[in-house]
Amino acid sequence: MIQAVVDNVCWQMSLDRKTTALKQLQGHMWRAAFAAGRMKAEFFEDVVPAVRKWREAGMKVYIYSSGSVEAQKLLFGHSTEGDILELVDGHFDTKIGHKVESESYRKIASSIGCSTNNILFLTDVTLEASAAEEADVHVAVVVRPGNAGLTDDEKTYYSLITSFSELYLPSSA
């Protein structure tokens, strides 16, 4: 029985499945590793300074990830930058809906009391970008080492950034 579970988890991971149950299992495993001090989350060097700047300008920052809310909190609470959970106003995962479904973005906007057209969604997955745009959310596709390549059409259609410092966001104050 245990081997069947392990085989199933390995199979789901090999297919990069984003099932809620798999992500919850990941969260439990991460909790143990972070608590033991065996892991620390690393962010690209431009991320934390940019988020701090946005927060100082009065903007709110939310995380929407296929990783569970628990896993997100572990990452931001145990990073190489220290505990940076205070930089995040809220967390969303696949319990709100899949990231490739436009309704998920409408639900998030409703949940935070914001119009979808007042949200900027950063992603490296163009299917997610398309779903967010369908919900009238602004999108920038983040191009980083290790991300899937983009087609020529995607490169010309989407706003692309390679660093969070490239974003100019008006103050919400």
173, pLDDT greater than 60: no
13, pLDDT greater than 70: yes
Residues 70-95 have a mean pLDDT of 94
Q: What is the CATH number of the domain that holds 130?
A: 3.40.50.1000
Higher pLDDT, 133 or 12: 133
Residue 171 lies in a domain: no
**Domains in the chain, number:** 1
Domain that holds residue 118: 44-164
172, pLDDT greater than 70: no
Angle of helix 69-77 versus helix 20-35 axis, rounded to 10 = 30
**Mind listing the pLDDT tens digit for each residue in 50-73?**
999 999 999 999 999 988 898 899
pTM of the entire structure?
Answer: 0.83
